[in-house]
Structure 1
Amino acid sequence: MASHRRPKQPSRTRVTVLTATAAAAVALSSQAAQAAPKPSKEDVKAKVDKLYEEAEQATEKYNGAKAKQDKLKEQVDDLQDKVARGQEDLNKLRDGLGSMATAQYRSGGIDPSVQLLLSSDPDEYLDKASTLDQLSGKQAVALKQIGDKQRTLKQQRAEATTKLQDLAETRKSLGEKKKDIQGKLAKAQALLNTLTAQERQALAEKEERANRSNDRVDLGDDVPESQRAAAALAAAKTKIGSPYVWGATGPSSFDCSGLTSWAYAQAGVQLPRTSQEQANAGTHLGQGQLKPGDLVLFYGDLHHIGLYAGNGQVLHAPKPGANVRYESINNMPFMYGVRV
């Protein structure tokens, strides 16, 4: 017969110990929460600025991939156009050869010696025979042209296939770099969202003051070394106040290399797309050699660029959330200048 015993109840001592342990755990977690204070506004700003810098590094990589994609697309289009025209030419050559072969067959159906014996006008026959010899010569030329055209088309098709593969890989890389930029900007925004409304307002006002400082900047008396440098700087000045947008090349928004390439384009000079490529677009200069309109490169990997404006001031598109503006050259780690 089965036994039906009531489960043994925990002792009062055991309950007391469990309760005390739970209370201690709650207290420890509360203390841990208190031990991790909320980051200050300055800490958040420093982290956000670092993320913006990393986003700009990613932006220049994106710009390089975008420029490569555009170039590959142009090359692929050109090759495909050449292949289409070449195929059309090949078809015409084949049609021409076919016409010659047909004509030769019709006039050469009887053995030439028999044709000569039967001909009522030997002179006329000899004239026709000469024409047939010329026709055979043309056939040989046509066959060579067809062979050359076929080899060219094969080469162009192979080149187009390779370029298309490169284009597909570049587009994939472009998507990854875009995702990287968006991820860093999202992290920066999430950090800003941890601040109070008052703290965010204070940061926004500080940024706005930096944007408005253009009205009071002293650019000194230095003059550009060339007309193109003067024209580029003058063009860039008309864009003061335009927003920074990653990947943008104007005319209403810019990233750093987008501004410099746009400005020099207005002076009739085509610069490469990225800051790293623009770094080799002219003669390298030390800080003491800079003149207005020269390019200025910052950071060890050269991921930021601007235009020297004079008196230690740089005109540039600084970062997300900021406008095109003047800023001290000493606010960033200067590498070297470039005179285009």
Structure 2
Amino acid sequence: MNISRVCEVENEQQAKRHFCRFLLVGSFALTAPVAHADSLSSDNQKLQQLQSETSQVQSQISAEQSKATTLKNAIASYDNALHTLDVKISATNDQMSSLKAQQDVLNQQLAQNQKQLQQQQDELTQMVRTAYEDGSVSYLGVLFQANSFSDFLSRLYDLTLISNTQNQVVDSVRTLRKSIIQKQDQVKASQAKLQTVHDQLAALQQSDRAIQAQRQADLQNIQSNIEAGKEKQGTLESQIHLTQSQIQAIEAETQAAEQQATQPSYVAQQTSDLVSTSSSSIISFAQTFLGTPYVWGGTSPSGFDCSGFTQYVMAHAGVSIPRTSEEQFATGVPVSEGDLQPGDLVFFSTYAPGASHVGIYMGNGMMIDAEDMGVSIDSISNSYWGPKYIGARRYIK
């Protein structure tokens, strides 16, 4: 009993009989054959108009669903692209962290190198001071303090030896320092390149996320259009298939069933009538009809409407239930939404007020039902079905 019923009047003769019934129970007084003919012709024109409008709405829904599929694929593609970018950015960050660690090590080596040079110089100076027992004397002062020419030559030799040693130390330290600085420059160059790559990846990531967000917004808009189309299609369906008095009857039966469900004696009686059978076998059997087309009034595997489907599946399990959704809602044990179990029937108010749609609860918030796209599986709490949920009934134990 979903929105596809709009376009499923089996043939024009059936439609004519339907509108004839509408005229008989409605407010029109058919006192003359001419008036009847005129009224029937008008109703046939109205029916054709409704069917044409229904066909247009169905085409629009199909087009929107096609767009939605394209957008979902695009969003999935951007998800993959963003994941790849995340991996690359993470790898780049790891490389930058590694280079930063290298830079820190090189800085430590430079500081150690400088300290080593200063230490060597201090040691050589101390050698001079120790040798000539004057903590404040300069190299030139050491020479001037010579007692003789041979002492002068000895002092000069010592200073030359110390100076050469110092020069070698300085050269060695300077060479090491130069090597470290070169490595630092290389690391800085690598860091600059990685930073450029990182910035490019971040910009691409931001762009992809913006595009993906727009696609998500477009998809939500399309899904809203689809739901609005289904609502309109449901209204057209009721206009094609049901008279106002029939719609009122469904609503009245639903209200009566809800009142009856509050009576302890009724609940006790229905509880005693529960049939012992396997809910898993019911669900498994129902799933064999996935994809079976929707047919208004259908009660067989060649085509089901919603209540025809539930009646057929339950009958296979040895459970006898009434034919229509509102009648099914008027029997069975009332079940709260929080106490739903697989095999329970769940009811919704769709194209007409009251229990106008029914499905079989599968567990985990899912149901299997015959709707516009045929027998399929849906969430009972999604944006379409959730607001239309009115209750549940249990027939098995």
What's the TM-score once normalised by structure 1's chain length?
0.44
Kindly indicate which of the two structures has a greater share of residues assigned to helix.
Answer: 2
Choose between structure 1 and 2 for higher RCO, CA contacts under 8 A separated by at least 6 residues.
Answer: 2
What's the TM-score once normalised by structure 2's chain length?
0.38
Look at both structures and tell me which one has the larger radius of gyration over its CA atoms. Answer: 2
